[in-house]
A and B are shown apart, each in its own frame.
Chain A
């Protein structure tokens, strides 16, 4: 009965569109899907819009909302971007940030794959507790760790070099990635590995030829998270790097563009906007893998 009704409605009202079920209607769709989606989009995209328009606003417009519409630009300017790119070391900060983020992500992923595989598949005595301990390590806040880590960094002679960050970021990236990959490896059927074992494959061969190709979405998901965390990291970058030209973007733009209680909002927003682009591009390439890793892995 209901099928017939649905077909009739679909045939009469929306002959070319998707067929609607009996409980469905255009109004219902608008209320339950499009309005929440629009709200969501506005909330998510508004900060980027604000960053964008502030980047191109002259100071007089930024300061005076009585005579200027805060949500629009009357006389756009490139001064803020010029100041950022040509009066600061921004290109160099961006390069450093990218190099540090890529290196620490790669290092963390390699370590995490080995750790997660060992904990999930080798199932040695106490492996569950090791997994738990690694996760707990992630919960220790960097604001507690940065002083002891600074001592290690000094003793290794790494202070004020990018290696100080490349080697300390994994202290929070590895626990996070390991925890994420343990979950992902768990979803890959063990039978596949058993077959390989029967065929005489070693553990490393299984990892390289069976597990890792199946775990690509999980690896990408962990990689994206690790990259973003490294990109945005603040406290270690602040404590372990003192030379202005060697700083990462989040620390450097604050140092250079906040002068006492005078905030160069235009250039700050330009720095934030340009700084968020590499991460956005990185996401856009791998978004499908990322979603598939969250929605489930290999089906048995």
Chain B
């Protein structure tokens, strides 16, 4: 029979107190270095109410903590806020309706290039972004790119989180192939993949029409070889020797993949990795999170490591990040309340718990949050911490605009790589076809 000892009861008491937050509690966000900067004056309009839409949760805390923070805002300001969560792929039609009709949500937490499509219909955010940047150690390179109107210093959006696409790999299998870690050199990386395949643990990268993973694979291969779809003036620049080299490398790499990657969609690599069918892929932290939280797959998580995608150019990892980009429509009756809401959500007291409980899926855009406890809780997710430091973006090197978004949504680059990898096209034909499509999209 269990006995309650004095030591045991003391431990129980301490545990209960700690649980209740009475001892050992540290204010959320206390570790975040903060500069003393006065908040912008945004007097909230009388009778203000807000409607917010944002992409649906990735994990439950994403929604619960967001809602809890929203309730705190309502308590502090008296402004009722309704938040609606929309499917990731379904957000864009709703934003299009709001922009076209001039009605609907006041605040939209959309995707990276959404604000750039509606830059004439949304409010200037320069003052708020400057304040947050000064207070929290500055903005990362990628949020600056997505937050500012292209080629200017005017902020049109407030980046709230960056979902990185790091390399996810099985440590034991990579070690078995003779490598202690995944090499950055592309030649060695190909050698590693060939050895993994030989050992019966092939890699797998999506080459199907997958919004995130397919475009991620294609842009990684292109950028890692120094290629880009358009130059900085928006002129199509795909037909270059770097693209041909990328296509040839992609075709060699494809030979090491598990069969079926040409039809892979976004969930496919998650499934294959957790089922232990592949040893290596590119993804957000979701694979690790799901594996870690299921006792039957916890051993997969324990053997998983994350690192930057190989093939860095002058120290720049060839990755972009899926960025949450908040904007306020001009049609809102309560612009100050809307901006205040965004400011409140970005302050460390609210932002840090959200960041931490989401396991860093939406990595912080403000550099001071590098010090967040989130990144100390699990060393395996450190690779996602630096998502905001990436220096590539959708449509690199050109402007972030509707054409850049169309290239992703029409899978021009993905289909170019898939066509060559599958042997349907030569690299030269693949590039020509992609160039034709890009010229149509960019109208150049």
- Give the interface of A toward B (CB within 8 A): 59-60, 63-66, 146-147, 150-151, 154, 159, 235, 238-240, 242-244, 251, 254-256, 258-263
CB-CB under 8 A from B290, the residues of chain A are 262
A262 with B297: CB separation less than 8 A: no
* Distance A241 CA – B248 CA, assembled complex (angstroms): 47
Residues of A within 8 A of B274 (CB): 63
Instruction: Kindly report which residue of chain A lies nearest to residue B84, judged by CB atoms.
Output: A242
CB distance from B423 to the nearest CB of A (A): 27
Q: Assess whether B88 is in contact with A260, with CB atoms less than 8 Å apart.
A: yes
Of the residues A59, A242, A256, contact of B94 by C-beta under 8 Å: A242
Instruction: Using known A-B contacts A147-B96, A239-B97, determine if residue A263 contacts B85 with beta carbons closer than 8 Å.
Output: no
Most buried by A among B97, B271, B274: B97
A79 to B443, alpha carbons, bound, how many Å? 51
- Can you offer 15 A-B residue contacts whose CB atoms are under 8 A? A59-B294, A66-B275, A66-B276, A147-B100, A154-B101, A238-B90, A239-B94, A242-B51, A251-B90, A254-B89, A255-B85, A255-B87, A256-B56, A261-B213, A262-B290
The answer to whether A60 and B294 touch (CB under 8 A), given A235-B93, A261-B270, A262-B286, is yes
Q: Which residues on B are within 8 Å of A, measured CB to CB?
A: 51, 53, 56-59, 82, 84-90, 93-94, 96-97, 100-101, 103-105, 163, 212-213, 266-267, 270-271, 274-277, 283-284, 286, 290, 294, 296-297, 361
Please state if A255 and B90 are interface contacts (CB–CB under 8 Å).
Answer: yes
**Interface contact A243-B87, CB-CB below 8 Å:** no
Given contacts A63-B271, A159-B104, A261-B270, contact A239 B58 (CB under 8 A): no
Q: Which residues of B contact A255 (CB under 8 A)?
A: 56, 85-87, 90
Nearest opposing residue in chain B for A246, CB measure: B84
> A239's contact among B93, B271, B277, by CB below 8 Å, is which?
B93
A151–B85 contact, CB under 8 A?
Answer: no
B96 touches A154 (CB 8 A): no
| A interface majority secondary structure | helix
Given contacts A60-B296, A263-B267, contact A258 B87 (CB under 8 A): yes
Residues of chain B with a CB closer than 8 A to A261's CB: 212-213, 266-267, 270, 283-284, 286
7 closest pairs, A vs B, by CB?
A261-B266, A255-B87, A150-B97, A154-B103, A60-B296, A63-B275, A263-B267
| Complexed CA–CA distance, A235 and B270 (Å) | 28
Q: Which residue of B lies closest to A152 (CB)?
A: B101
Q: Which residues of B contact A239 (CB under 8 A)?
A: 93-94, 97
CA–CA, A60 to B293, complex, Å? Answer: 12
A260 touches B286 (CB 8 A): yes
A242 and B86 contacting across the interface, CB-CB below 8 Å: yes
- State in angstroms the CA–CA spacing of A239 and B204 once bound together: 36
Instruction: Give the distance in Å from the alpha carbon of A11 to the alpha carbon of B288 in the complex.
Output: 71
CA distance A52 to B86 in the complex (A): 27
Determine which of B53, B271, B286 lies in contact with A242 in the assembled complex, contact meaning CB atoms within 8 Å.
Answer: B53
Residues of A within 8 Å of B90, CB to CB, are: 238, 251, 254-255
A243 to B53, CA, bound (A): 9
Beyond A66-B275, A66-B276, 4 additional pairs, beta carbon < 8 A: A242-B51, A242-B105, A260-B286, A261-B283
Measured in the bound complex, the distance between the Cα atoms of B53 and A159 in whole Å is: 15
Set of chain B residues within 8 Å of A63, measured between Cβ atoms: 271, 274-275, 297
Option from A65, A147, A244, A262 in Cβ contact (under 8 Å) with B267: A262
In the complex the two chains form, what is the Cα distance from A63 to B294 in whole Å? Answer: 12
Residues of B within 8 A of A263 (CB): 267
What is the CA–CA distance of A74 and B359 in the complex, to the nearest angstrom?
Answer: 33
CB distance from B48 to the nearest CB of A (A): 19
State in angstroms the CA–CA spacing of A235 and B275 once bound together. 34
Residue of A63, A244, A260 with most partner-chain B CB within 10 A: A260
CA distance A242 to B213 in the complex (A): 27
Quick check: B284 and A260 within 8 Å, CB to CB?
A: yes
Q: Which residues of chain B have C-beta atoms less than 8 A from A258's C-beta?
A: 56, 87-88
> Would A243 and B84 be within 8 Å (CB), given that A261-B267, A261-B286 are in contact?
yes
Tell me, in angstroms, the Cα distance from A154 to B51 when the chains sit together: 15
Contact B270–A262 (Cβ < 8 Å): yes
Closest partner residue, chain B, to A157 (CB atom): B103
Residues on A with beta carbons closer than 8 Å to the beta carbon of B275: 63-66
The closest CB in chain A to the CB of B296 belongs to A60
Q: Which of A235, A240, A242, A256 has the most CB of B within 10 A?
A: A242
Q: Is B100 in contact with A151, judged by CB distance below 8 angstroms?
A: yes
Closest Cβ–Cβ distance, residue A239 to chain B (whole Å): 5
CA distance A240 to B94 in the complex (A): 8
Q: Name A147's closest neighbour in chain B (CB-CB).
A: B100
- Whole-angstrom CA separation of A175 from B283 in the bound complex: 46
Cα of A32 to Cα of B56 in the assembled complex, Å:
51
Given the known A-B contacts A238-B90, A242-B53, are A259 and B58 also in contact in the complex, defined by CB atoms under 8 Å?
A: yes
Contacts of A242 in B (CB 8 A): 51, 53, 84, 86, 94, 104-105
CA distance A239 to B266 in the complex (A): 24
Task: Find chain A residues with CB under 8 A from B284 CB.
Answer: 260-261
The answer to whether A146 touches B97 (Cβ under 8 A) is: yes
Please give, as numbers and ranges, the residues of chain A lying within 8 Å of B59 by CB-CB distance. Answer: 259
List chain B residues, Cβ under 8 A from A154: 101, 103-104
Asked if residues A150 and B100 are in contact (CB atoms below 8 Å), the reply is yes
Closest Cβ neighbor of B322 among chain A residues: A260
Chain B residue contacts of A59, Cβ below 8 A: 294, 296
A60, chain B: closest CB distance, angstroms: 4
**Which residue of A has the minimal Cβ distance to B211?**
A261
Q: Are B267 and A238 in contact (CB under 8 A)?
A: no
